[in-house]
Amino acid sequence: MAEEKKKGLGRGLSALLGDQAASAIAAVTSAAQAGPEGAAAIKGLRSMAVGHLQPGKFQPRRTFDEERIADLVESVREKGILQPLLVRPLPGQPGKFEIIAGERRWRAAQGAKLHEVPVIVRDLS
């Protein structure tokens, strides 16, 4: 029998992005729960212009439910973006970054007409 190929979807973030990205997101989540003091301690956390970001080429989602994005836009308008996006610098494109995690939040930020979003920059390959 042929061995089944393991798929990344449904196996958690580390299956898609590796342990480094998953641990970065876990650190953000725990720091965000600690309040402003915790968020200030996150290495690489900063605000970035929405236009400097582009969707990740390894994004498993190819279609986005417009109704759910609209709900997220409303939430972002009311509460802001609660969890930063995880991004990495794009090689050969200074000032441009690829979204590793958080494309739905980025799309919602665009819909809410935000100029900047919170991001964590990591050098991931």
- Tell me whether residue 103 is one of the annotated catalytic residues: yes
Task: Give the residue from 6, 48, 16, 51 showing the smallest Cα distance to 124.
Answer: 16
Q: Under a CB-based contact definition with an 8 Å cutoff, are residues 85 and 37 in contact?
A: no
Reading the block at residue 49, the tokens are 């212009």
Rounded Cα–Cα distance for residues 52 and 118 (Å): 12
Rounded Cα–Cα distance for residues 59 and 44 (Å): 22
Catalytic residue among 66, 67, 74, 103: 103
Active site residues: 103
